[in-house]
């Protein structure tokens, strides 16, 4: 079936592809968000006279969403759903792979202003952790990768170099011992039980007992090689963040670790030690402190007229 047939007459095929997109998601929140995103897009698409699915059409829809005043994160989520729709349509022979690839290159919307980085809310971080399909070996591995980035604040290079010898018990809890970071600084990072469980599930599923923790998984679903590159770590984060409509990098998960820990009443000095920062000032940047307009320094001066 060619692209023109799909986009002008075969509404059943589009509905079927939409179902495949939703079936490929594991998070209930993602299913609901993608369902609304695709429903709204197809309603707009029908109203335009079904002009043919193309990169230009998707870009026009992006402009329309921005014109409606939607937040960049909302626009990006909807574009992510459309990219997934095009990918599934291509996989099922309904549109040309070149067209699907072009739609996949439609850029998201960047937020205005300058920021030191991005931070995930607790809900977004939880949703990201739930994205990998843990019925597959790759999904078990990917969840473990996300766990050490979010739950231990490791840099992607540190995660790539992590070995099973680093994972040890100290004082009755699990610790990532003697992690060598920037400028050859060595630190140890206590980890929560859920991080250890994710790592242990990967170790057990992959049948590993030593060497590098994270390995490549081939198309057949088998472990191969003796490690994974830092670029491989980046691809894991990019894949799952795009699925929930975010545009983040591994270092943003390190920032999120710091901010969520601080919100959970962890001391800045302890966060600094886990991150391996030389200065608390550097750690404070990672916390992304926001101005509180309801309780300002001026309210606490004790002066009056």
pLDDT in tens, 191-237: 999 999 999 999 999 999 999 999 999 989 999 999 999 999 999 99
Stretch 39-57: mean pLDDT: 87
Local confidence band at 292 (pLDDT 50, 70, 90 cut-offs): low
**Is there a contact between 44 and 64 (Cβ–Cβ < 8 Å)?**
yes
In this predicted structure, what is the pLDDT of residue 1? 35
Q: Which residues pair with 139 in a beta bridge?
A: none
In this predicted structure, what is the pLDDT of residue 115? 46
CA pair distance 236, 233, nearest whole angstrom: 5
In this predicted structure, what is the pLDDT of residue 85? 87
**Is there a contact between 90 and 99 (Cβ–Cβ < 8 Å)?**
yes
Q: Which residue has the higher pLDDT, 1 or 272?
A: 272
In this predicted structure, what is the pLDDT of residue 286? 80
Q: Which two tokens stand for residue 82?
A: 């459309």
Q: Look at residues 30, 47, 41, 206 and name the one whose alpha carbon lies nearest to residue 132.
A: 30
Whether the pTM exceeds 0.85: the reply is no
Q: Which domains does the chain have, with CATH numbers?
A: 3-104 (1.10.150.130), 122-287 (1.10.443.10)
**Is there a contact between 129 and 150 (Cβ–Cβ < 8 Å)?**
yes
In this predicted structure, what is the pLDDT of residue 192? 94
Lowest mean pLDDT among 37-41, 87-91, 203-207, 238-242: 87-91
Q: For residue 250, is pLDDT > 90?
A: yes
Local confidence band at 156 (pLDDT 50, 70, 90 cut-offs): very high
Stretch 53-77: mean pLDDT: 87
Among the ranges 36-40, 94-98, 137-141, 291-295, which has the highest mean pLDDT value?
137-141
Stretch 152-176: mean pLDDT: 95
Q: Look at residues 104, 108, 87 and name the one whose alpha carbon lies nearest to residue 17.
A: 87
């Amino acid at each position: 079936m060619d692209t023109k047939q799909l986009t002008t007459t075969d509404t059943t095929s589009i509905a079927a592809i939409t179902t495949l997109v939703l079936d490929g998601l594991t998070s209930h929140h993602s299913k609901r968000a993608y369902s609304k995103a695709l429903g709204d897009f197809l309603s707009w698409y029908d109203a335009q006279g079904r002009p043919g699915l193309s990169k230009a059409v998707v870009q026009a829809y992006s402009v329309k969403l921005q014109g409606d005043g939607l937040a960049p994160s909302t626009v990006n989520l909807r574009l992510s759903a459309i990219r997934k729709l095009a990918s599934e349509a291509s996989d099922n022979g309904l549109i040309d792979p070149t067209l699907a690839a072009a739609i996949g290159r439609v850029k998201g919307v960047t937020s205005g202003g300058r920021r030191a980085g991005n931070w995930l809310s607790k809900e977004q971080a939880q949703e990201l952790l739930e994205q990998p399909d843990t019925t597959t070996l790759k999904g078990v591995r990917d969840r473990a990768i996300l766990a050490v980035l979010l739950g231990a604040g490791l840099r992607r290079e540190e995660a790539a170099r992590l070995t099973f010898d680093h994972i040890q018990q100290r004082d009755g809890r699990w610790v990532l011992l003697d992690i060598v970071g920037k400028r050859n600084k060595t630190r140890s990072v206590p980890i929560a039980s859920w991080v250890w469980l994710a790592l242990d599930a990967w170790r057990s599923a992959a049948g590993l007992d030593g060497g590098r923790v994270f390995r490549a998984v081939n198309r057949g679903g088998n472990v191969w090689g003796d490690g994974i590159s830092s670029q491989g770590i980046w691809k894991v984060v990019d894949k799952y963040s795009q699925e929930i409509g975010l545009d983040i990098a591994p270092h943003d998960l390190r920032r999120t670790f710091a901010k969520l820990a601080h919100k959970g009443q962890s001391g800045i000095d302890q966060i600094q030690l886990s991150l391996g920062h030389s200065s608390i000032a550097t750690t404070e940047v990672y916390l992304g402190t926001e101005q509180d307009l309801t309780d300002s320094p001026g309210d606490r001066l004790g002066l009056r007229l």
